[in-house]
């Protein structure tokens, strides 16, 4: 193997850069030529809001400067605040949870399903208390969460459902695009996402009052175009506006999203076919009622069958020229931000806020699936890499696994 001084399978780099759409330069140039670069008075942002919300299947879209901001705005627009709890999966990016903290509410982590790695509805229901106000299903790695079960539980307990769709542009659940199923849907357009403006985000909803609340939260408490004076504010808000250049890039990306998505699915399914040959690999699950858009190609590794540790496998793949990483370093219930109850101003707020009557216990061993997934998952392709793969890339990935598999079996026979 290359890690032991042999020749690597791959010497040239696999393309890790974002894919660009044909009209991006044209639309960005229009913004620069117009000198209307702000969404306050530019036409690109409202145009993108209308077209993206229509594509997903909602009445309203409110853009933001990032996906994290979109989650923050959605939480605030839903009225989340001190004393409230929000349930979300323990295996996701930290921004899902910190958006809750930014509203001075408390995140409560549920375990995940071993197949899709999305929130386990049964564990979600077990964690509901009289302080629970919302649930945030995350459509992880491009596969939808089990939304029928989530909605049934949420309706029974009168909970707001905020979909985190940061990794799932164009994914579908029973024929509906994610982001249109809950009360609010949030997307990210950061550089690694299935659609990118470099940065950016959007909140989608069918609720007009929620949409207006999002607009106020996005821009310092005021809705532009309301006819009121600029300094006439009636609520607390933030400056989370998208720029016109981001919107221009995203309009161009939206024109190509189905083509991009078809390529991602083709590449993901080809990787499934190649890697499912190895008995120590579990390839990504795709449920029959779901459209998996393969944001990240994540495999689970049986290290006992392989005869090599997960981190050793990652090191071996990288030596062969294959980009690989362990994935999320921490399950959120064990992440220091939560395990140590780090809050605002060193005062352990919101956990010790006088409005909060509960007591969360993070890292208590009640997330067994998440703990296993963190220890046995390897990301082979993430972000735009799934889209950028060509047949030669996939062949090289398969050959690297064949080489490692043969080495591991040889070592086993030698032992």
Give per-residue pLDDT as tens, 154-177. Answer: 999 999 999 999 999 999 999 999
pLDDT one-digit tens code per residue, 294-324: 999 999 999 999 999 999 999 999 999 999 9
Could you tell me the fold of the domain covering 2-17+257-327+372-414? 3.90.1150
* Token duo for residue 234: 């009636």
Lowest mean pLDDT among 47-56, 334-343, 391-400: 334-343
165 three-state secondary structure: coil
**Residue 68, pLDDT above cutoff 70:** yes
Question: Which residues make up the CATH 3.40.640.10 domain(s) of the chain?
Answer: 24-256
112: which residues sit within 8 A by CB, 6+ positions away? 89, 90, 91, 118, 119, 120, 140, 367, 369, 370, 373
**The architecture CATH gives domain 24-256:** 3-Layer(aba) Sandwich (3.40)
* Token duo for residue 26: 């044209």
46 three-state secondary structure: helix
pLDDT one-digit tens code per residue, 193-226: 999 999 999 999 999 999 999 999 998 887 665 5
* Cβ atoms 36, 43 nearer than 8 A: yes
More confident residue, 346 or 158: 158
* The pLDDT value given to residue 409: 83
Beta bridge partners of 132: 85
CA torsion, points 336, 341, 347, 352, in degrees to nearest 10?
A: 180
pTM for the complete prediction? 0.95
Omega before 137 within 30 of 0, i.e. cis? no
pLDDT one-digit tens code per residue, 120-154: 999 999 999 999 999 999 999 999 999 999 999 99
- Strand 172-173 to strand 176-177: parallel, antiparallel, or no bridges (unpaired)? antiparallel
79 three-state secondary structure: coil
* The pLDDT value given to residue 254: 98
- % of the chain at pLDDT higher than 90: 85
CA distance 48 to 385: 25
- Strand 160-164 to strand 184-188: parallel, antiparallel, or no bridges (unpaired)? parallel
* Cβ atoms 87, 132 nearer than 8 A: yes
CA distance 326 to 145: 22
Question: Which residues make up the CATH 3.90.1150.10 domain(s) of the chain?
Answer: 2-17+257-327+372-414
* Token duo for residue 11: 């010497």
pLDDT one-digit tens code per residue, 279-297: 999 999 999 999 999 999 9
* Token duo for residue 165: 């769709």
Query: Which of 133, 125, 135 is CA-nearest to residue 88?
Result: 135
């Amino acid at each position: 193997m290359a890690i032991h001084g042999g020749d690597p399978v791959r010497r040239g780099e696999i393309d890790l850069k974002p894919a660009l759409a044909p009209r991006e330069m044209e639309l960005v140039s229009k913004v620069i030529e117009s000198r209307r670069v702000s969404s306050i008075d530019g036409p690109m942002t409202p145009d993108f809001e209308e077209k993206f919300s229509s594509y997903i299947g909602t009445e309203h879209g409110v853009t933001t400067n990032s996906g994290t901001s979109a989650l923050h705005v959605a939480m605030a627009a839903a009225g989340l605040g001190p004393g409230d709890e929000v349930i979300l999966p323990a295996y996701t990016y930290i921004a899902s949870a910190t958006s809750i903290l930014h509203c001075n509410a408390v995140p409560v982590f549920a375990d995940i399903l071993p197949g899709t790695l999305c929130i386990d509805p049964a564990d979600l229901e077990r964690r509901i208390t009289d302080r629970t106000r919302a649930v945030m299903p995350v459509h992880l790695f491009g596969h939808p969460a089990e939304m029928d079960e989530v909605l049934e539980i949420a309706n029974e307990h009168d909970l707001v459902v905020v979909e985190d769709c940061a990794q799932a542009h164009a994914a579908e659940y029973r024929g509906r695009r994610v982001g249109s199923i809950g009360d609010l849907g949030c997307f990210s357009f950061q550089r690694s996402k299935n659609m990118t403006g470099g940065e950016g985000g959007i909140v989608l909803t069918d609720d007009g009052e929620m949409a207006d609340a999002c607009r106020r939260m996005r821009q310092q408490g005021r809705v532009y175009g309301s006819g009121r004076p600029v300094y006439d504010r009636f609520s607390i808000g933030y400056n989370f506006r998208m720029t016109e250049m981001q919107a221009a890039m995203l309009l161009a990306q939206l024109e190509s999203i189905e083509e991009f998505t078809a390529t991602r699915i083709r590449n993901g399914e080809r990787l499934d076919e190649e890697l499912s040959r190895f008995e120590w690999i579990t390839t990504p699950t795709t449920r029959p009622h779901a459209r998996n858009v393969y944001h990240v190609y994540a495999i689970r590794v049986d290290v006992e069958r392989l005869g090599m540790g997960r981190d050793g496998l990652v090191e071996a793949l990288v030596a062969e020229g294959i980009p690989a990483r362990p994935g999320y370093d921490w399950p959120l219930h064990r992440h220091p931000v939560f395990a140590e109850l780090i809050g605002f101003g060193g005062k352990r707020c919101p956990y010790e806020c006088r409005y909060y009557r509960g007591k969360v216990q993070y890292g208590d061993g009640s997330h067994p699936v998440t703990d296993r997934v963190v220890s046995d998952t390897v990301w082979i392709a993430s972000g735009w890499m799934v889209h950028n793969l060509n047949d030669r890339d996939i062949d090289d990935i398969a050959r690297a696994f064949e080489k490692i598999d043969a080495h591991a079996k040889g070592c086993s026979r030698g032992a």
